[in-house]
Amino acid sequence: MSLFLKVLLVVLVIALIALVVLYFLGRRMQQKQAAANEQMEAMKQTTSLLVIDKKMLPLKSSGLPQQVIDQTPWYQRRAKIPVVKAKVGPRIMLLVAESSVYEILPVKAEVKVEISGIYITGIKSVRGSSIPTPPPKKSWWQRLRAKAAETNAANEAEAAKKKKEKEKAKEAKQVIKQPKKKA
């Protein structure tokens, strides 16, 4: 057997072992997530709240209780989370929203939501209007074209501004170069 085939065989065996390990870890994580979802469904309540503000903040600077930050896994502590500042009854609270709910949650509006602990899981209704639909997701190509068009427009505006400045400078030079007439 040649050296190339030996190296290829070792790489394939390592890749196979990694795939098996990832499969079993994925199953275990999926079971944990299913158990957490069941618990959240059991604790879910419908309540009315006034949304004051919503932001995507890092977990450490979100203002959530230290106990919540301590219970978060280490690999998620640097991620930004959707934080909603809302008035629930007489109290102002910081709540964490699901990302799909965060996108359609209106600011400065009274909303009836499903809450499980400090986690907003769904929107039931919005007072005075219907539940807003989330904006359609743009494909990678559409985002790229929009960014290119925006950059192109900015470049054209800058070029027009420079052209105007050159024309003004040219006019100023012509005014200065004109000889004074003697009377």
Indicate whether 55 belongs to any domain. yes
2-21 pLDDT per residue, tens: 999 999 999 999 999 999 99
Model pTM above 0.75: no
Looking at the 3D structure of the chain, how many domains does it have? 1
Contacts 24+ apart (CB under 8 A), 54-57: 54/82, 54/83, 54/84, 54/85, 54/97, 54/102, 54/105, 54/107, 55/82, 55/83, 55/85, 56/80, 56/81, 56/82, 56/83, 56/102, 57/81, 57/83
Indicate whether 63 belongs to any domain. yes
pLDDT number for residue 179:
64
Give the structural domain span for 144.
Answer: 39-149
Least confident window among 5-14, 113-122, 125-134, 155-164: 125-134
CATH of the domain at 109: 2.40.50
pLDDT, average across residues 22-26: 96
Indicate whether 46 belongs to any domain. yes
Say yes or no to pLDDT of 58 above 80: yes
Indicate whether 10 belongs to any domain. no
The fraction of the chain above a pLDDT of 90, given in percent, is 60
